[in-house]
Structure 1
Amino acid sequence: MIKLIEIEKALARANQITPKETTLRPSAVLVPVVEREQGLQLLLTQRTDHLRHHAGQISFPGGRMDRTDKDLIHTALRETHEEVGIPDQLINVLGKLPLQPTISGFMIQPVVAHIQQHYEMRLCEDEVADAFEVPLDFVLNPDNQNHSYRDYRGKRYSVYSIPYQERNIWGATANIIVEFSKLIRTF
């Protein structure tokens, strides 16, 4: 069973650096880890069906960097509060995962954080249809991570998916989870 201390040590060793320039739009997501009696859980959201980008998909709380954000960690915290109502005071940032470029034109900075277990969600109904927790041990297990390739606009892309119960975690969210898994396994 994965422990918070292992995550903290692995993230400290990773020492991710944000590039100074990119043509992709800067954005950030929070990779929220919650400690429960049955083990660590990962908090995910399901986006509403009417959104312009990634409608209906399983995702982490997050979004595009605003002019008012001092950095991408602030973006992840602000977006988490806006989307699921969890305030900064209940969030302890542990570190960053490798940047995740998307075919939709975003450069995502995943920010791993420990969320206090007594949080209460207040979903932004315009953006988030649902929020739920999944066992971290399950999603980080390579046996549960399906890999395939898809062609899009004449290019071949590596795609991961992680089926969990009646849901399918795929795309950038699954890729971030796989990177998280690799980081933890190398620890």
Structure 2
Amino acid sequence: MATDLHQILSDALTRPGGASSDFDLNPDIVLPEGRTLKPAAVLIGVRAETQSVILTKRSSRLKHHPGQIAFPGGKQDETDSNLAETALREAKEEIGLPRENATVLGQMDAHETVTGFQVSPILAVIEGSFDIKPEQGEVEEVFEVPFSFLTDPKNFRVESRRWQGRRRHFYVAPFGPYYIWGATARMLRGLAERISS
């Protein structure tokens, strides 16, 4: 089973993808030329035993994206040798994932966020059990969603809401009580497109 998962994800990384952004469903938004984006990375960690993707619900007390569903991840530190290291460090801090449990397979195309980050999704297979330890004050909950659900493009739809005086469209992939949307849903949609192509 784990070998199949490694193969599915490795094959997906060889297929054409393309950069994405929080704006790509909104062609009327013109982004400024020469803007500087801060590098960041998230871990799309797929558990081999449960065939599911690890996600977090951010604390409702956070200044940015409170209560939203997200991957473990964050901005790149000067001490990180590469973006995979960023994702692994953040996953250790946010959910207690030991580095030795994660086999990094590669990196998908970057995603630009409304908050000025260029986020690189790092694909990894998680093997073995570990004690999940949500980072106090930052992570409210750690949960899993079946890999088969998140890699089926039919489970994604486009919704919209008003933001900064205009209507903004974005992908959503609701699952039970979890409303997966925005950058997280867009990156998952990109993975689903690679796997289904």
Q: Residue 86 of structure 1: SS of its match in structure 2?
A: coil
Give the equivalent residue in structure 2 for 1:32.
45
Distance 1:29 1:22, change over 3 A: farther
**From 34, 45, 67, the counterpart of 1:56:** 67
Distance 1:11 1:174, change over 3 A: same
Residue 159 of structure 1: CA displacement?
Answer: 0.4
Structure 1 unmatched ranges of 5 or more: none
CA distance in 1, matches of 2:155, 2:131: 29
Distance 1:23 1:156, change over 3 A: farther
**From 9, 13, 16, the counterpart of 1:11:** 13
Give the equivalent residue in structure 2 for 1:47.
58
Does 2:163 align with 1:152? yes
CA contact (8 A) 2:156 2:172 kept: yes
Distance 1:16 1:22, change over 3 A: farther
- TM-score, normalization by structure 2: 0.83
CA distance in 2, matches of 1:94, 1:79: 17
CA distance in 1, matches of 2:40, 2:153: 26
Paired AA for residue 108 in structure 2: L
Q: Residue 79 of structure 2: SS of its match in structure 1?
A: coil
Percentage of identical aligned residues: 37
CA contact (8 A) 1:63 1:79 kept: yes
CA distance in 2, matches of 1:54, 1:16: 25
Structure 2 unmatched ranges of 5 or more: 20-33
CA contact (8 A) 1:16 1:96 kept: no
Residue 158 of structure 1: CA displacement?
Answer: 3.6
CA distance in 2, matches of 1:99, 1:64: 13
CA contact (8 A) 2:17 2:194 kept: no
CA distance in 2, matches of 1:157, 1:179: 19
Distance 1:22 1:10, change over 3 A: farther
Paired AA for residue 79 in structure 2: T
CA contact (8 A) 1:99 1:108 kept: yes
Structure showing the higher strand proportion among its residues: 1
Residue 87 of structure 1: CA displacement?
Answer: 1.3
> How many residues are matched?
181
- TM-score, normalization by structure 1: 0.88
Residue 11 of structure 1: CA displacement?
Answer: 1.1
Paired AA for residue 191 in structure 2: F
Give the equivalent residue in structure 1 for 2:177.
166
Residue 156 of structure 1: CA displacement?
Answer: 5.6
